[in-house]
Amino acid sequence: MDIKKIPVIMDVDTGIDDAVAIMLAMSSDKIDLKGITVVAGNQTLEKTLHNTLSVVEYFGRSDIPVAAGADRPLVKELYVDPATHGESGLGTAKLPQPTIKPHALDAVSFLRETLEKSEDKITLVPVAPLTNIALLLTCYPHVKEKIEKIVMMGGGAFEGNMNAVSEFNMFVDPEAAQIVFDSGVDIVMCGLDVTMKSYTTMEDILALKATDTKAGDFCAEAFGVYYDRYVSNSRLPGCAVHDAVTITYLLHPEWIKTEKANVKMDIDGAETYGQTVCDFRPDRDKTNDNALVCLDIDREKFVNLLIKACEYYK
Ligand code: RIB
Ligand code: CA
């Protein structure tokens, strides 16, 4: 019996962990990756687009359309993160220059057209600032009926990484995030609560390398300075592969602990601008719940999934 594939469009700011998430999605026979849209975030749009094209071509999936989107947030100035992802956006990994070109349509037009033409509802997997997704939902609200759900990497119920309360993807474009959380589309929020538990230790990185595959080699190279930064800057014994948790949720939701909540974006707090305020109170008005918040993961199974994905690229 044919497995019914999950139709997916990813939205990325490639980035080291974005690249791993894309590699994981492309390795799965359960996912029909219909396209990848790109936004500025970890690095400028020029670099995140270049990196995404490089990753798709390097892993042999030049058939997957890549469309360029917003080069800056809706309101704020762009904030990039070379300290974490390097000047290139892919850390110390060196990929061949891409020969493939971006799709003729811009990201929002590509999203709109693909959603309108699809017979099935499509799951959107944004792992970046939500600028493209917010523009889509604002300009073309009718496409909401063709979105199965949004499985995002972003936010945090109980922690931040840009400050005490704000996570990078939300911090870069809080106004876009507010539009998405208030859109009425079903959301699965893979925030820092789960992604900071989704780390690869040096032992795990060596196991990825030991697959002796182009994917394992890529991870080992890209994780170089990324690992050092995480181990020196956080309490983790490894580097958080944030974005790959979204694809892991799609493939194995049973590995991830979730809780329903009402999530609101703070876009005007002096100290809390960019916070995802998650209301889990038992006596809240649950009719306002708009997200399934991910809180924990079976880390060993997560790492083994990444290793298995690398072996796909033998
Ligand atoms: O906070 C982590 C998120 O910010 C990840 O998506 C990473 O790629 C960066 O975009
Ligand atoms: Ca990202």
**For the CA of 10, the nearest ligand:** 2
CB atoms within 10 A of CB 304: 13
- Residues 129, 13 contacting (CB under 8 angstroms): yes
**For the CA of 153, the nearest ligand:** 1
- 252 labelled catalytic: no
- Residues 114, 132 contacting (CB under 8 angstroms): no
**How much distance in Å is there from the Cα of 9 to the middle of ligand 2?**
14
Atom of ligand 1 nearest to the CA of 16: 8
54's enclosing H/E stretch is helix 45-58
**How much distance in Å is there from the Cα of 213 to the middle of ligand 1?**
25
Marked catalytic residue, from 103, 142, 242, 252 = 242
**How much distance in Å is there from the Cα of 77 to the middle of ligand 1?**
17
> 3-state DSSP call for residue 85?
helix
Atom of ligand 1 nearest to the CA of 243: 6
**For the CA of 245, the nearest ligand:** 1
**C-alpha span between 67 and 245 (Å, rounded):** 23
Atom of ligand 1 nearest to the CA of 18: 8
**C-alpha span between 293 and 192 (Å, rounded):** 10
pLDDT tens-digit profile, the chain (314 residues): 667 999 999 999 999 999 999 999 999 999 999 999 999 999 999 999 999 999 999 999 999 999 999 999 999 999 999 999 999 999 999 999 999 999 999 999 999 999 999 999 999 999 999 999 999 999 999 999 999 999 999 999 999 999 999 999 999 999 999 999 999 999 999 999 999 999 999 999 999 999 999 999 999 999 988 999 999 988 899 999 999 999 999 999 999 999 999 999 999 999 999 999 999 999 999 999 999 999 999 999 999 999 999 999 98
- Residues 313, 213 contacting (CB under 8 angstroms): yes
**How much distance in Å is there from the Cα of 154 to the middle of ligand 1?**
7
CB of residue 10 inside a 6 A radius of ligand 1: no
**How much distance in Å is there from the Cα of 273 to the middle of ligand 1?**
17
**What confidence score (pLDDT) does residue 33 get?**
98
- Going by alpha carbons, the residue nearest to atom 10 of ligand 1 is 128
Percent helix, strand and coil across the chain, each to the nearest 5: 40, 20, 40
Give CA 230 to chain center in angstroms.
18
The DSSP secondary-structure symbol of 86 reads T
Which ranges in 192-284 belong to alpha helices (H)? 192-195, 202-209, 214-233, 244-251
CB of residue 146 inside a 6 A radius of ligand 1: no
Amino acid letter at 157? A
Contacts of 264 (CB under 8 A, 6+ apart): 178, 181, 182, 276, 277, 279
Which ranges in 140-213 belong to alpha helices (H)? 168-172, 174-181, 192-195, 202-209
> 3-state DSSP call for residue 64?
coil
81-109: per-residue pLDDT in tens?
999 999 999 999 999 999 999 999 999 99
CB of residue 173 inside a 6 A radius of ligand 1: no
Amino acid letter at 10? M
